[in-house]
Chains A and B, each alone.
Chain A
Amino acid sequence: MTRINVKVDGAMCSDDVEPRTLLVHYLREQLGKTGTVIGCDTSNCGACTVHLDGRSVKSCNVLAVQADGHEVTTIEGLATNGELHPVQKAFHECHALQCGFCTPGMIMQSVDLLNENSDPSEEEIRTGLEGNLCRCTGYHNIVKAVQQAADGAGSAAVASTSGGAS
């Protein structure tokens, strides 16, 4: 067992893990954060995407010990004070999901994409989400949601405290 200290969704966590424990298993099974899902288990689908020090990673492809001393944000840590993150809100309003399984990863990757490029073209959105698969093939509304979030972004924090677009 190896001791790790990780900040997860704003809270400090100190746990013993086997070195072979994947970050996604640590989040789900030790911390109970089941909002992050396991889709393919082969690092293809992106459903397990979380942020590690502010950048998106596939948490099935990172060891928990590699997160030691770092900060993880999951889908469960995006909303602030019960207020959905603008990207979550846009996914809701645009009905950017069918079965919903890819949604946590899609949202985390969309937030990363908008952090890097606040005004992406449709093509840039599709390229930026190419590591996330939606097996319902519901990509169209996902792209629309990212566009809507981008239109309301620029000041994402303002949007989330003022009730957002309605």
Chain B
Amino acid sequence: MIPAQFDYVAPSTVEEAVNALVEAGEDAKVLAGGQSLLPVLRMRLNVPSVVVDLCRIESLRGVRDDGDALVIGAMTTHSDVFHDPLVREHATLLTKAVEQLADPQVRHRGTFGGALAHADPAGDLGAPALALGASFVIAGSGGTRTVEADDFFEDLFTTAVQDGEILTEVRIPKYTGWGAHYEKFVRVAHQWPIVAVAAAVRVDGGTIAEARVGLTNMGSTPLRARAVESALVGQSATDEAVRGAAASAAEGTNPPSDLNGDADFRRHLATVLTRRAVLAAAGA
């Protein structure tokens, strides 16, 4: 299948890209790695008049150390995030999640910012980014603004990024020394998760001192399992204690029902996967 015709621009700076978007209005689409956008264009689910390709903006690529945070450029590929030593050391949860995202070919092209801005509720990066308290830097014609993770994901495929704006980078606070795990449940290899759980914990002398847990595909946006997080603090990292805390994983969620499973099955999965994710993160 072939996409409908569109005009194509590949600017070399963020400013030029923003100008191109503003000029094109609401019929413009931003192209990052294209691994979600191109299937949409091929099936003509979206027919943009202009596609603004960010691939020539070198400043949007790479990971840098910024004191107590890492800054990941929006156009950094999943493969580069996976291999990045800073991410592996300070935000292990992202390493674990991108490792399981789609397949190798998609990871070579797909980008960190593109996936987050696409905001598929079954995408693998939203829950880890939310759990880690990421902040999102967005450029527009009025300059840049920063949106915190709790306010970034608004609905299905909808984020705080507005028409005429571009997500440029994502800041992740450092979680040096924390254990992390991404537990993903799929029926078919390389597919989107039916449910997945992102967990990061700081264990101190066998006791869970801090915990952050995010849920994938348990609602129209990624969700924090705050009840689980608070129940985990002070518990020993044992199967019994974690099982008890994980029982509240589905609290406040609104999972979808589809061919892969109904909402009740997903609520059950959330508790099981949360237990597995937290235990693996704690090294238990």
Contact = CB atoms under 8 A, between A and B. Distances in A.
A21 to B, nearest CB: 8
A66 B106 contact: no
Interface residues of B, number: 29
A87 interface: no
B1 A131 contact: no
B4 interface: yes
Interface string B27-69: 0000100110011011000000001010100000000000000
Interface stretch (B6-14, B232-240, B257-265): B6-14
A25 B42 CA distance: 13
A56 B108 contact: yes
A125 B189 CA distance: 13
A111 to B, nearest CB: 12
A interface: dominant SS: mixed
Contacts of B103: 46, 130-132
B133 interface: no
A18 B41 CA distance: 14
B104 interface: yes
B190 A61 contact: no
B10 A61 contact: no
Nearest to B79: A55
A130 to B, nearest CB: 4
Contacts of B3: 20
Contacts of A44: 190
Contacts of A21: 2
A32 B283 CA distance: 53
Contacts of A56: 104-105, 108
Interface in A5-46: 18-22, 25, 41-44, 46
A22 B189 contact: no
Q: What are the nearest 4 A-B pairs in CB distance?
A: A131-B103, A19-B8, A130-B189, A20-B3
Given A19-B5, A19-B7, 11 more contacts: A42-B39, A42-B42, A44-B190, A55-B79, A58-B109, A60-B38, A61-B39, A61-B109, A63-B38, A63-B53, A113-B104
